[in-house]
Amino acid sequence: MYLFSSLSRLELLAIAESTVATAAAVILGSSYSMSWFSLALSIGGLFLGVFLVAMFTISLQITMKRREVAILRALGATRSSLLRAFLLRIVLIAVMGCLAGTMIGYCVAFFNAECSLLSLEIVGLSSIISLLSSFCGGASAVKRVLDLKVGEVLRQ
Amino acid sequence: MTRSEPVLRLDNLTKTFETDCGKISLFNGLSTEVMEGDFAAVVGPTGVGKTTLLNIIAGLERPDQGTVTALGQDVTAMDDNTVTEFRGRNIGLVFQGSQLLPGMNVFQNVELPLVIRKTEESERKRKTEEILEFFGLTRKSSVLPAALSVGERRKAAIARALVTEPPLLLMDEPTGGLDAPAVNILTPLLRGIHFLHKGTILMATNSLNLAKMASREIPIMRPKLLMTCQS
């Protein structure tokens, strides 16, 4: 939509963080020296890390775009249309981070003798958690778009 | 709607604000009507609430008391989505300080209300080109707002508000912050808009010269101090 053109630095940062966390989860999850306890910790870390980074970067992005959002609202763009635009963007970021992380993690684990437990389940679980956490983190930040006081923002 | 019907009716309007040192009340029960085709000027010194009044009429802010009826509909009773759609369909807004989107060129900025209304692309292009030509901005259509002069930015903002041919046009200080030559260019243009635009215009201004252009004036009283904080 008209709010977004190319990927901003903040969005690239969110994608990079999600990539690293997903790759790490795939590698750690397939390492034979991992116990179930450390596997749970790494999965939990992946969820929390990606969630927080997605929430932080998207929040910052929205704060930077609040004037644009206010102008669009004043010109007649509804909350739902703006929300849709932001959520689509978050899905794009989540999918890019997840895909890149899964591919990198898979390649590293495949060629690493330590990662003998590499399986479809580990890769799938890491990808799903990465996707979910970045989407949830971004979506919780987007709620702020709904609470924008258009008149006040335009007056500032 | 016939000539005698009001396009805009304000009934007993009041808005209160908490400030650092007290509570102030704006408008104090303002009631007035603006008829179809009128060019009305909201006048008063800085700080009396002219921008707030336009925001309330456009549904961007809510009054604490009173109602605003625009084009036969009570704006103050609408929920957020309804008032946003109503505004997009019926009200053209020129904000103080232009408020163009910095990442979009002049053409895209002016075209924006039509994009929001989901107007067909060929129609969008035709209307945008027409209005840019009227404002003498055709050669600047691919330029970003930052590269325009303040006067050109203001013209682009007015063009954006008019591109949908809204029945009600609200302009907040259209010449505010402009130097004398830019005011001299914009003032006849505003006269031209009134002549060509078939709708109703409500303009907030503290310029007496600009207010003279309007067919009637709506003076805003000074805010009333309701409560002062104790030091």
Taking alpha carbons only, the member of B104, B135, B102, B38 closest to residue B127 is: B135
Identify whether B201 is part of a domain: yes
Distance from CA of A79 to the nearest CA of B (A): 7
CB A142 within 8 A of CB A98: no
Any chain A CB within 8 A of the CB of B52? Answer: yes
Any chain A CB within 8 A of the CB of B29? Answer: no
pTM (predicted TM-score): 0.82
B187: domain CATH number is: 3.40.50.300
Chain A residues lying within 8 Å of B51, measured CB to CB = 155
Helices (H), chain B: 50-57, 80-90, 106-116, 121-134, 150-162, 180-196, 208-213
Taking alpha carbons only, the member of A68, A113, A110 closest to residue A86 is: A68
C-alpha separations of A104 from A15, A38, B22 in Å: 13, 21, 60
ipTM of predicted assembly, 2 dp: 0.88
Task: Compute the distance between CA of residue A124 and CA of residue A110 in angstroms, rounded to an integer.
Answer: 15
Taking alpha carbons only, the member of A92, A49, A85, A44 closest to residue A68 is: A85
Q: Between chains, do A75 and B80 touch, taking CB under 8 Å as contact? A: no
Q: How would you write the pLDDT of chain B (231 residues) with one tens digit per residue?
A: 445 578 999 999 999 988 777 788 888 889 999 998 899 999 988 888 899 999 999 999 999 999 999 999 999 999 988 999 999 999 999 998 889 999 899 999 999 999 999 999 999 999 999 999 999 999 999 999 999 998 899 999 999 999 999 999 999 998 887 888 888 888 888 888 887 777 899 999 988 888 888 888 999 888 877 766 654
Identify whether B38 is part of a domain: yes
Identify whether B37 is part of a domain: yes
Identify whether A1 is part of a domain: no
What phi and psi values does residue B69 have, to the nearest 5 degrees?
Answer: -110, 115
The per-residue pLDDT for range A32-78, each reduced to its tens digit, is 766 777 777 777 777 787 888 878 887 887 788 888 889 999 999 98
| B interface test, pick of A8, A75, A152 with most B CB neighbours within 10 Å | A75
Identify whether A102 is part of a domain: yes
Q: Between chains, do B84 and A79 touch, taking CB under 8 Å as contact? A: yes
Identify whether B1 is part of a domain: no
Task: Compute the distance between CA of residue B98 and CA of residue A72 in angstroms, rounded to an integer.
Answer: 13
Identify whether A4 is part of a domain: no
Identify whether B59 is part of a domain: yes
Identify whether B179 is part of a domain: yes
Chain B residues lying within 8 Å of A81, measured CB to CB = 116
Identify whether A3 is part of a domain: no
Q: Between chains, do A75 and B85 touch, taking CB under 8 Å as contact? A: no
What's the structural domain count of chain A? 1
Chain B residues lying within 8 Å of A71, measured CB to CB = 95, 99, 101
> N- to C-terminal Cα distance for chain B?
54
Identify the DSSP state of B139. G
Range of the domain at B43: 6-227
Identify whether A76 is part of a domain: yes
Which run of H or of E encompasses A49? helix A36-64
Any chain A CB within 8 A of the CB of B59? Answer: no
What phi and psi values does residue A151 have, to the nearest 5 degrees?
Answer: -55, -45
Range of the domain at A46: 9-155
Identify whether B165 is part of a domain: yes
What's the structural domain count of chain B? 1
Identify whether B106 is part of a domain: yes
CB neighbour class for B150 (10 Å; exposed up to 12, middle 13-18, buried from 19): middle
Which run of H or of E encompasses A43? helix A36-64
Identify whether A14 is part of a domain: yes
Identify whether A26 is part of a domain: yes
Identify whether A2 is part of a domain: no
